[in-house]
Structures are given as C-alpha cells and as structure tokens.
Amino acid sequence: MAGVSARALAAGAALVLVAGLSACAPSVPTPVPTTSASSSSTPEPEPTETAPPEPALVEDGTAEENKPYFDLVGTNFFATNGMSDGRSIIDNLVAAGFDKQDMEVTPDRTAIDLAADSILFSVRIQGECLLGQVSARGFGSTVAPLLGTGGCLVGATRPIDW
C-alpha cells in the first residue's frame, strides 16, 4: 500500500503543480469592439465629381480648338429649330461670336425652289475651316484645310449680305 500511496501522492503533487502553473500563465485580454462617434453618427461625405466646363469660343484659337464650341452652338440650335434656313444658321453663329465675314453657306432652296436636303456652312479660322452640315439626319461637323480658292465650301454658296 505504501507503493500505491506514494504513486497517488506523486500524481496529486503533479496535478497541484500543473494547476499552479496554469494560474501563473499571463492572460490575454479579449479585444472588445468599440464604435467611434464619427463612424456611427455621420457617414463620410462621398466625393463629388465636377462637371467639365462648357465649351467656349477661343479668341485667336485654331479651328480645332473652337470645334467643341461650334458643335455646342450647332447642336443646340438645330435641336431647337430643326433644319431651319441659311440666314438663321449664320445669324446664330454670329450671335455666338463667330465672325460673319469668315462664313459661307449653301443655298437652302434648290434650283427648282424646293427645300434643300441639307445646308452646309463654314467658318474660316486661321487658315482652316470649321465645316457644319444639317440635314434630316441631324447636325455634323468637321475641321478641314482651307481650299485653294481661299474658301471652305465647294460649289455655289449664297451671298451673306444682310
């Protein structure tokens, strides 16, 4: 029995030693989630996009630099007025700041006095041409080199004498 008791004593001592050592182990704190006042009460403002500036006439600019403005003027005019007529087109461009003496326009009536299928118009700017066209398909434009004649449009144009 003495052998059993020594063994039991040894087991009991080992148990007490293990229990004592586990009590000495440092405890790791469990993180507790916290909420800050700013994250729960007011959301972060979302970044806002700024709209690009609307095109404007570039004084002493090239035809290419003025094309966005030419397109804006033409698109807005034809959206409101449809195909319209040559004089109204030229008057609109003058009101937008383009120089009338640098413009050309094709007739808005045919040789047999029918409405033209399309009207072409142009503005000479620094040796280049802003070309515009309106038809049943809508408004379109491009930049082209000045012709050898000094003009922008091929064929008959109507006088702009008003």
- Select the more confidently predicted residue: 63 or 16: 63
Which one has a higher pLDDT value, 25 or 30?
30
Burial class (CB in 10 A: 0-12, 13-18, 19+), 2: exposed
Please give the model's pTM, rounded to 2 decimal places: 0.69
Spatial separation of the C-alpha atoms in residues 32 and 40, rounded to whole Å = 16
- Residue 37 pLDDT > 90: no
Confidence of residue 107 (pLDDT cuts 50, 70, 90): very high
Site of tokens 């709209």: 51
What is the mean pLDDT of the segment spanning 135-148?
A: 96
In this prediction, residue 48 has a pLDDT band, given cuts at 50, 70 and 90, of confident
The closest alpha carbon to 6, from 14, 34, 83, 122, belongs to 14
